[in-house]
Structures are given as structure tokens and as C-alpha cells.
A and B are shown apart, each in its own frame.
Chain A
Amino acid sequence: MFPAAFDYSAPTSLEEVLRTLAERGDDAKVLAGGQSLIPLLKLRFATPAIVVDIGRVPGLDGVSRENGSLRIGARTRHAEVEAAPDLRGKLDALLDAAPQISDPLIRNMGTVGGSICHADPAGDWGAVMLALGAEFVVRSASGERRLPADGFFQGPFTTGLRADEVLTEVRIPLPAGRAGGTYLKMERKIGDFATVAVAVHLTLGDDDHIAKAGIGLCAVGPNSIKATAAEAALVGQAPSEAVIAEAARLAGEAAEPKDDLRGTAAYKRDVVRVFVQRGLRTAIQRATGARS
């Protein structure tokens, strides 16, 4: 298999990328690591007139802390997040998700920003970003916008990104107090898409009650899903098995799974419930254990 012919542009500045996108709009497709786009090109599901490779644009890599938030450059490889130091006890869901994405070779090439913009309903980062309350910094020739993850994923492979925009970085608020979370994924084998995956992120207040809760669901709907009712059931509560069970039940209800080769809708909904339950227990354990 090989892609349909396309024009190829590999700009060395963001300005040039934005100019090309402004000129070519829907005819252009941005290439970051290519681990989702190249399969689509080969299958000819995507036949863009021009591929804009952002591989040579400076300043799009790396994971760093800046002003109370974590900055992840859009072209940061999954493997770099996997190796990111000192996020344990802060952004556990991020650290737990990274090594579960596809396989080690894909993680050497595939990028965080590429995965987010591809918006596969079974993409791992979508659920994680929803749970962590991330914000996406996007640029176009007419300026910069900051789009919350909540609302960004609008349908299968559909996002709030305009055709002339490119994602440049992800911003995740760093929790000030005690925090815990995790990412639980069921897959048939390494490299497969998730049958179900769940991202959980909690912060505890000084009174030991849950101050913030984030729950993202993967592969159980037309897009990554934020389980808002389950989150609301947690905030302000003292952690208990009863609170966890109720939130898990609500998360199961928020899922919109379909029957497919990986399982029935009823089965997947129940896995969501069980994973949220387990994830919340782990999150609470980690948050309370992080107390100094």
C-alpha cells in the first residue's frame, strides 16, 4: 500500500506552516509523527492535496513546568511523556497512560498533539486530557486560541480545530495540593486499540474531601467522553466506598458504547463502571499517600 500523490511541504518555521494552512485550508493536512495519518493515507481514507510536515519547526517538543501548569509541546513523542520525570503524585494519569499507548516503536514516532488532533474515539490521550482539565493552545495566521479539552472532541475524528489552525502545545494545570489518579486500559494485545479505557484524576482539599475530580472515558462513544455527572458526585465528598460506587455507576451511564468485535455494549459499560471504581480507589490511595 502507498498513499495517493500529494504535494509535500516541510516548513522550518511556524509562520510558514500557518501561511500554508491559511492558503490551502481543507486541502492541507498537518503531519506530525504520522502514526495515525500515514495509515489513513495508505488506505486512501485521507487524500490531502498537500501534506504539511511540522517535523522541522522549532519549539514544538518537550515536557516542562511553567507557571503552575505542565506544558507539553504538540510534537512531543509519547515515549518522551513516558520518560517524563517527577510527575508522579501530580499527574499520575498522564504517566500511567503513556506506556499503554500502542507499542514501543509507535511511541517513538507518534506525538501527543497528533493523537489529540486525530481525535480517534479510541485514542488514549483524549480521555486523559479530559480528566486532567487540559487546555489546547492552537495557532493560526490570525492569532492564538486556547481551547479547553472539554468540548474539543466533537465526534469521531472531529475536533474544534479549524482547517487553518495547528495545535502547538497542551497545558495541564498542576494540582497545588494532594492529587492522585491513574489510567486503566483493557486491550486484547499490545498495540491494539482499547476495548475500554478510563482516566481518573482527583485532588483532595485540606479537609480530606475531594476538591476536584476528573474522569475521561476512551473507546466507549463517538468521541472521548467526560463523565461530568460522575465527577459532580465526587466533588465535596469525603472518599468512601459508597461515594466511589455511585460515581462509577454514573460513569457507566455516561458511556455510549456499541457492540463490536471487542465486546458487547453492555459488557463495555460494565467495564467502565469497574475501571472507574478501581481507578478511584487507586487515585484516593495515591492522593492520601502523597500527604507529607
Chain B
Amino acid sequence: MKMTFNVNGTSRSEEAEPRTLLVDYIRTKLRLTGTHIGCDTSNCGACTVLLDGRPVKSCTVLAAQVEGRSVTTVEGLAKGGVLHPVQQGFHTEHGLQCGYCTPGMMLVGAALLERNPAPSEEDIRWAISGNICRCTGYMNIVKAIRKAAETAAAAAAEPAGVA
């Protein structure tokens, strides 16, 4: 069956079987391999994408379910070659080691900041509680999201036109 939905701002339309999982559709049909497959059992969050702005686990969503809706993958975070504040935060604070969980962590962080621009440490830890990292011990991931919040706040406070 034909499936059509918006991915990172562009309408994409591909033929796929109804049983196709969203993560497989994204990786195989659209060749967007930033969305990872980890546990494949909705435990780890490596496959996190945003569905209409809210994080979900794409290993446990059928591609058919998102017909007509909007999906954001990690490839959709940077705009015009400029890193998203969360990506910059992970870079600055060294929020990753192996990087496998990073796309999911960054998307969860970006979704959190959309809803709560000044999250507490507890808010951040709560937001990432469905995403597993086996390297970092989470400390730098939390710092990275916090850094992103600060960066975004500083950018918003900067008077327009001042270089």
C-alpha cells in the first residue's frame, strides 16, 4: 500500500506492506539511517523519532499509523547547516561516547525544550527516562540538554540586530 507522510518537512510517499514498522520504513525506504534499531522491543529508545512533535519509539509504530502526520528524525534537527541547540549542547558537553543512543536522546531533548524551555535537572532526567545509554552514565547527556536550554535562552535574549 502507498504511505504518505511528512518527514523532516518534506512529504514522502513510498509503497510498503502494512506490516512495515516505522523504523524500517525510515531506514530502508527513505534511507535515513540516523534512526537506530537497538533492542527492537520498545525498551531502549534508540529508534526514537518525533511524531507531530512528541517522541515515540518507531520500532513499535506501524508506518501505516502515521499516514498524513509529521515525523522528525535526527536528520531534521539541523537547519540550513546550523546545528540545533541540542546538537550543539551534545558537542560542547561531550554528551556521547559510542553515539548509538544519541539521535534518540537529542530528539527527546529537543521535544522537551519545545514544551519546557527551562527544564530542571529532574525534568531532563524524567524526559530521557525511556532512553537507555550504556556508555555515559547519563551525566553529560543531562548537561548537554541543560546547555542547549541555556544557549537557546541566551539567543532569545540577545537584542535583534546586534552582532
B61 with A109: CB separation less than 8 A: yes
User: Which stretch of B52-60, B84-92, B93-101, B136-144 is in the interface?
Assistant: B52-60
A39 with B41: CB separation less than 8 A: yes
Nearest residue (CB) in B for A9 is: B18
Chain B residues with CB below 8 A from A261, complex form = none
A190 with B129: CB separation less than 8 A: yes
Q: Does A274 contact B (CB under 8 A)?
A: no
Q: Does A13 contact B (CB under 8 A)?
A: no
A20–B55 Cα gap in the complex (Å)? 31
A45–B106 Cα gap in the complex (Å)? 33
Q: Does B43 contact A (CB under 8 A)?
A: yes
Chain A residues with CB below 8 A from B61, complex form = 34, 38, 109
A104 with B57: CB separation less than 8 A: no
Q: Does A108 contact B (CB under 8 A)?
A: yes
Picked from B43, B65, B126, the residue with its CB within 8 Å of the CB of A191 is B43
Nearest residue (CB) in B for A3 is: B19
Picked from B1, B62, B67, the residue with its CB within 8 Å of the CB of A38 is B62
Picked from B19, B51, B56, B60, the residue with its CB within 8 Å of the CB of A4 is B19
> How big is the B interface, by class?
20 to 34
B19 with A190: CB separation less than 8 A: no
Q: Does B4 contact A (CB under 8 A)?
A: no
Chain A residues with CB below 8 A from B41, complex form = 39, 42
Chain B residues with CB below 8 A from A191, complex form = 43, 129-130
Chain A residues with CB below 8 A from B64, complex form = 8, 10, 53
Chain A residues with CB below 8 A from B60, complex form = 34-35, 38-39, 106, 109
Interface string of A26-45 (1 = CB under 8 A from B): 00000100110011011000
A283–B4 Cα gap in the complex (Å)? 49
Question: Shortest CB–CB separation between residue B92 and chain A, in angstroms?
Answer: 25
Q: Does B42 contact A (CB under 8 A)?
A: yes
A1–B42 Cα gap in the complex (Å)? 12
Q: Which among B19, B41, B67, B129 has the greatest number of chain A C-beta atoms within 10 A?
A: B19
Picked from A10, A31, A108, the residue with its CB within 8 Å of the CB of B67 is A10
Q: Looking at chain A's contact residues, is the secondary structure mostly helix, strand, loop, or mixed?
A: mixed
Chain B residues with CB below 8 A from A6, complex form = 18-19
Chain B residues with CB below 8 A from A34, complex form = 60-62, 65
Given A7-B18, A105-B48, are A39 and B65 also a contact pair (CB < 8 Å)? no
Given A34-B60, A34-B65, are A104 and B129 also a contact pair (CB < 8 Å)? yes
Interface string of A98-116 (1 = CB under 8 A from B): 0000111110110000000
A10-B64, A105-B45, A191-B130 given; 11 more Cβ-contact pairs under 8 Å = A2-B19, A5-B18, A8-B18, A8-B62, A34-B65, A103-B130, A104-B108, A104-B126, A104-B129, A105-B48, A106-B42
A-B contact list, 28 entries, CB within 8 Å? A2-B19, A2-B21, A4-B19, A5-B18, A8-B1, A8-B18, A8-B19, A31-B65, A35-B60, A38-B60, A38-B62, A39-B60, A41-B19, A42-B21, A42-B41, A51-B18, A79-B54, A102-B130, A103-B129, A105-B55, A105-B130, A106-B42, A106-B60, A106-B130, A108-B54, A109-B57, A190-B129, A191-B129
